Structure 1
Amino acid sequence: MGNGGYHMVALLVGVAVGLAGVAFHLGVEGLTAAWPALLRDTLGLSGTALYSAAALVAATMAIASLFLVRRFAPEAGGSGVPEIEGAMEGLREVRWKRVLPVKFVAGLLSLSSGMVLGREGPTIHIGASIAKAAADLTRMSSEDMRGLLAAGGAAGLAAAFNAPLAAVLFVIEETRRQFPYSARTYVGVILASLASAVITEWLTGNVPYMLLPASAMPLTALPAFLLLGMLLGATGVGFNRTLVWSLDHVRRLGLATTFYLFPLLIGLIVGPLIFLLPEATQGGEVLAVQLATENRPLAVLAVIVLIRFVMTMASYSTGVAGGIFAPILALATTIGLTFGTALENVVPLPESTHLALAIAAMGGLFAATIGAPLVGMVLVMELTGAYSLLVPVMLTTIVSNMVAQRLGGRPIYEILLERTLAIEAAGQPTPRRRFRLRRPRSDLTGLAAPDTVPPKPQQ
C-alpha cells in the first residue's frame, strides 16, 4: 500500500473513531443522568427507598459490565491502553470483532453506574480496535498495522478529551519503543487525531472539556509550584503502589469467592453515594471544574481527596471496563486545591493561586503516575485552556516526574505488564515474584499490559 492509500485509511479511521468516541461520550452522559432522574423524579423515590434502589441499579450495572468482559472479551477489562501497547509490542492480539461491542457496552454500563472511572481508556481501546479492523480489511503489513493501531489509539484520546495535540504526543512519548517510526506512520497518527478532533468539535463544540479561566502567575509564586511538584511526585508513587496492591488483593478475593463479589459491593456503595456524596463518584471532569471555582474549606477538600483516592482504587480493581486518566486528573485538582488552601494559612498567596495550583497539579500527578510528562503538560493546556499557566504547569510536571523517578517510581503500565507476565508465567492466582522486562537503560516510559487478568472463559 502506497503512502496515499495508507494516509487515506488513517484519515477514515480517525473519522470513524471520532463518531464512535462522541457516541460513547454522549451515551455515558445520558445514561449517567437518566437513571438517577428516573428514580428520584419520575418514580418519586426518596430517603431509604431511593438509596436502596440506587444501590441495586448501580450494582446491577457493575455486574453486567464485568459479565460481558469475562464472558465474551477478557481483554476488554480495565482501561484498554495496556492492551494496545502490548499489541504494538507483539505481546497481545487485538480481537476487534469482540472487543468493539464489549468495550462499548461494558464501558457504558460501568461508567454510568457512578464508579470512579474515565472514558478515555475505553475510547482509546475502541479507536485502536477500529484501526485493527481497517488494517485487516486492507491486508496491511505488520509494520503498517502497528502504526495504524497507534493512530487509532491517538484518535480515541483526541475524541475523549478533544485534545488532538496531546493525542499525537501520547504516541511519541508513551509508545516510542513500540511505534514503527516512519514518515507515513507519523503522518498517519496526525491525520487520524486531526480527523477525530474535527468530528468531535463538529458534534460537541470547540470548547475545552475542563475550561478553567486562569490568569498568569508572578514569578514569585513559582516556589509554591515547585513544592507542589515534589508532593505530587511522592503521591504518584504511592498511587501506583496502592493500585497494584488493590488489584492483587481483589484478585485473591475473587479466586477465593467469586470475581463478581467485589463489583457487587462497590456498586451497592456507589449507588447511594450518587445522591449522598456525588464528589465520591464518576470520572471527575465536572467535579474538577466545580471544585476549582468554589472556595471549600480545607477539611472538606482533604476529605474529598481521601474519598476520591479510595474510590479510584476500589473502582479500578473491579475489573470492569473503564479508564484511569480522568480519575487521576480529578484527584490531582483536589490535591492542588488542598495544598493551596493549606499553604495560604502559612504565607500570603497571589490572587487566583488556588486555581493555578489545581491546574498545574493535573500535569504533575499525570507525569508521576503515567510517566509521560510532556503529554501531561500539553493535555492540561488543551483540557483547561489555561495557556497563561504554561510555565507553572511545566515546572510542576517535570519536578513531579523527577521526584517520582528518584523515589523508585515507575510508569503504571510497566508495572501492570510485569504483574500480568508474572501471573501468567508462574501460573499462580497471585504473583509470587516481580518479573522485570529487559529494556534499554535509556527507556523511561513503561510498556502497558491488561489492567486485570481474569481467567479465560471456558471453551
Structure 2
Amino acid sequence: MKPAKDFLRRPFTTRVPELLVQSIIIGLIIGMIVSIFRFVIDKSIHFLYFLYPYLAAHPQWISLYTIFTFFICILVSKIIKPYLLDLSGSGIPQVEATLMGEHEVNWFPVLWRKFVGGLLVSSMGLFLGREGPCIQMGALVGQGFAENIFECSEEDRRLLQCAGIAAGLSAAVSAPLAGVFFLVEVITHSFKPKECISALGAAASADLVTIIFFGTRPCLYLPIAKKLPVHSYWSLITVGIVAGLMAYGYQRSLLNTKWLFSKLKIIPMQYHSIVPLLLVIPIGLAFPHVLGGSHYLIDSLFHNPLIIQEEKLGQLSWILIPVVFFLLRLIFSMISYCSSIPGGTFMPILVLGALMGTIFATVFIHLGLIPTDNYTNIIVVSMAAYLGAILRAPFTAIILLTEMIGTVEQVLPMIMSVFIAYLILALLGGEPIYTVLRKQMGFK
C-alpha cells in the first residue's frame, strides 16, 4: 500500500485559487454593471406608471411622445447596426455559439452597446426581460478580462466566460445558485468541478454587489402563507400538463414570429424596433401597470388576488381579466423580443406563468377544489412549470424560483409540476429554446 504523498498533490501547486480570485473580481465588476442596469430600468418603469396616466388625461401630449419614440428608434438603430447579429434578442444564443466555437465576438463594442441599447428599449416599457442581456454582458466581461487583463489561456478564457454567465444571471435576479445551475443545465450541459467553483465564486460576488444596491430582500419576494394540502396535489398534475402544452405553443410562436420579422423587408432590420415602440403606446395608455418585464405585475397578482374581488369585478370578469392580460402579454412579448433589439425573455415568461397560475387558482377555488389560502401556491408552481418547460431546464427553474421568491415551502410541488411540464414538452417535440434560437440564427 502506497503512502499519502503518492496520491495527494504537492501543496500550493493547484491553479484553482488563482482562478477563483479572477472569477470573484469578474463577479464584482459584473455585479456593478448589472446593478446599474437594473436600477435604471426599475426607475424608468416607475416613471412610465406616472407618465402614461398623465398622457391619457392630457392627450395633446401624445403626439409629442410619439415623435420622441421615433427618436429613440433612430438612436437604437445607430447603436445596434454595426453588431446587429450580436445585439439582437437576449444574447444567450450568441453566448452559446461563442462557447461552441461557432461565433467570435468583439467584446467591448458589444458590451457597451448591449448596455445602452438594452436600457433604451426596456425603459420605454417593452415586454422584455433584463436577465438575458445581463447574462450576455457577464460573458463579455469574462471574455474581456481573460483576454486583456489576466491574459489567460484558451481554456481559462472559457472558464471565465462561464463564470461571467453565472454572475450575470445571479446579479440580474439575486440568485447565485440559479446562475450556476443555468450555466450547467442550459449553456454547457456538463458538470466540471473547476468550472462550477469559478462560476459559484463569480455568482456569489456579483450577488454581494446587488445586496449593497437593493438590500437582502429576494428579487421577487412572494411569501407563501400556507403549504398546499396533500389532498390538493392532484392540481399539480393539471398545472404541469397545461404548462407543458402552453410551453410548446410558446416555442412555436416565438420561432415563427422571428421568421415573420425576417420577412419584413419594407423596414430595415435595425429599425424593426419601431413596431413594438409604437404598439406599446396604446397599451401603456390603457394598462400602464402591465408594462416592462414585469416584476410589478407578478407582485400585484400575488398580493391582490382576483378571487377576493369577485363582487367588484362582476360575473366571469375574475377569469376574463387574467386571460386578456395573458394574451396581451404573450403577443406583445413575442413582438418585442423578435424585433432585433436587445432584450430577454426570462421575466416575460415568468409573468405569463403567473397569469396562468392566476387562471388555474381562480378556477380551482371557485369550483371548491383547493382552499382559498392556496391561491399563491398555484401561482408560484405555475411560474416554475412554464419556465422549466420552455427552457427544458427543470433544475434551473426550481432553484431560480426558490431563490427569487424567498421560500423553500414549494420545492416538492414545483418539482412535480415542472417535471410533468418538461415531459409533455419533450413528447410534443419541444427543444431547449435557446438552442433552437441559436440554430435559427444560422451560426457556422
- TM-score of the two chains, using structure 1 as the length reference: 0.86
Q: Which moved more, 1:382-391 or 1:124-133?
A: 382-391
Shift of 1:37: 4.5
The alignment partner of 2:104 has SS state of coil
Give the drift of 1:331.
0.7
Amino acid at match of 2:167: A
Whether 1:268 and 2:278 are equivalent positions in the alignment is yes
CA spacing shift, 1:415–1:48, aligned 2, 3 Å? same
Structure 1 position 225, deviation (Å): 1.2
Change (3 A) 1:94 1:352: farther
Q: 1:52 to 1:335 in 2, by over 3 A?
A: farther
- Structure 2 distance, partners of 1:238, 1:50, is 39
Distance apart, 1:40 and its partner CA: 6.7
User: Which residue in 1 is equivalent to 2:108?
Assistant: 97
In the TM superposition, what is the alpha-carbon distance from 1:16 to its structure 2 partner? 0.3
Counterpart secondary structure, 1:352: helix
Letter in 2 for 1:82: P
Q: Give 1:81's match in structure 2, choosing from 79, 82, 92.
A: 92
Name the residue aligned to 1:3: 16
Deviation by residue 1:310-348 (Cα, 9 ceiling, x = unmatched): 111110111100010000001100011112212333343
Once the two structures are superposed, what CA deviation does each residue of 1:374-419 show, in whole Å capped at 9, x if it has no partner?
Answer: 0000101111113111111111111111110011111111211221
Match for residue 219 of structure 2 among 201, 209, 215: 209
- Please give the residue correspondences for 1:22-421 in structure 2 after superposition, counting only pairs within 5 Å: 22-34=35-47, 37=50, 46-72=57-83, 74-137=85-148, 138-177=150-189, 182-214=192-224, 215-253=226-264, 255-259=265-269, 262-296=272-306, 297-421=318-442
Q: Which is further off, 313-322 or 61-70?
A: 61-70
Cα RMSD, aligned residues only: 2.0
SS at match of 1:175: helix
Distance in 1 (CA, whole Å) between partners of 2:227 and 2:243 is: 22
Contact map agreement 2:365 2:371 (CA 8 A) in 1:
no
Shift in CA distance, 277/38, structure 1 to aligned 2, threshold 3 Å: closer
Quote how far apart the aligned CAs of 1:355 are: 1.1
One-letter amino acid of the counterpart of residue 169, structure 2: L
- The answer (yes or no) to whether the contact 1:59–1:265 under 8 Å persists in 2 is no
Q: Do the aligned residues in 1 keep the contact of 2:25 with 2:202 (CA within 8 Å)?
A: yes
Deviation at 1:191, TM superposition (A): 0.4
- How far is 1:106 from its partner? 0.2
Distance 1:45 1:418 in 2: 43
Task: Supply the distance in 2 between the matched residues of 1:361 and 1:131 (Cα, whole angstroms).
Answer: 34
Q: For 1:96 and 1:176, locate their aligned partners in 2 and report how far apart those are by CA, in whole Å.
A: 20
* 1:21 counterpart residue number: 34
Unaligned runs of 5+ in 1: 426-459
1:256: Cα distance to partner? 3.9
What do residues 328-374 of structure 1 show as CA deviations (whole Å, max 9, x unaligned)?
A: 00110001111221233334311322211110111111111111010
Contact 2:290 2:297 in 1 (8 A): no
Residues 167 and 203 in structure 2, CA contact (< 8 A), matched pair in contact too: yes
Match of 2:312 in 1: none
Flag the 1:38–1:286 CA change in 2: closer, same or farther, 3 A: closer
- The residue matched to 2:409 in structure 1 has which SS? helix
CA contact (8 A) 1:360 1:392 kept: yes
- Maintained 8 Å contact 1:123/1:156: yes
Alpha-carbon distance, 1:60 to partner: 3.5
CA distance in 1, matches of 2:180, 2:375: 30
| Cα 1:191–1:130 shift into 2, 3 Å | same
For residue 5 of structure 2, what is the aligned residue in structure 1?
none
Residue 242 and residue 279 in structure 1: after superposition, are their counterparts in 2 closer, same or farther (change >3 A)? farther
Q: Which amino acid aligns with 1:298?
A: I
Alignment CA distance shift 1:174-1:338 (3 Å): same
Q: Which is worse superposed, 15-24 or 206-215?
A: 206-215
Partner Cα distance (2:361, 2:68) in 1: 38
Is 1:15–1:195's contact at 8 Å kept on the other side of the alignment? yes
Count of paired positions = 418
Separation of aligned partners in 2, 1:344 and 1:386: 23
Q: In terms of Rg, which structure is larger?
A: 2
Partner of 1:94, secondary structure, is coil
SS at match of 2:273: helix
Conservation of the 8 A alpha-carbon contact between 2:227 and 2:409: yes
How far apart, CA to CA, are the structure 2 residues paired with 1:83 and 1:324? Answer: 15
Mapped to 1, the partners of 2:47 and 2:130 lie a distance apart of 18
Question: Are the structure 2 counterparts of residues 295 and 2 from structure 1 closer, same or farther at C-alpha, using a change threshold of 3 Å?
Answer: closer
Task: Give the Cα–Cα distance (whole angstroms) in 2 for the partners of residues 279 and 12 of structure 1.
Answer: 37
Aligned-residue offset at 1:28:
1.2
**CA shift for structure 1 position 103:** 0.5
- 2:291 maps to a residue whose letter is T
Amino acid at match of 2:21: M
Change (3 A) 1:183 1:412: closer
- In structure 1, give the amino acid aligned to 2:99: M
**Structure 1 residues 62 and 222: alpha-carbon distance in aligned structure 2, compared to 1, 3 A threshold:** farther
Structure 2 residue matching 1:190: 3-state secondary structure:
helix
Amino acid paired to 1:268: L
Whether the 8 Å CA contact 2:388–2:418 is kept in 1: the answer is yes
Tell me, in whole angstroms, the C-alpha distance in 2 between the residues paired with 1:219 and 1:45: 48
Query: Which amino acid in structure 2 is aligned with residue 314 of structure 1?
Result: I
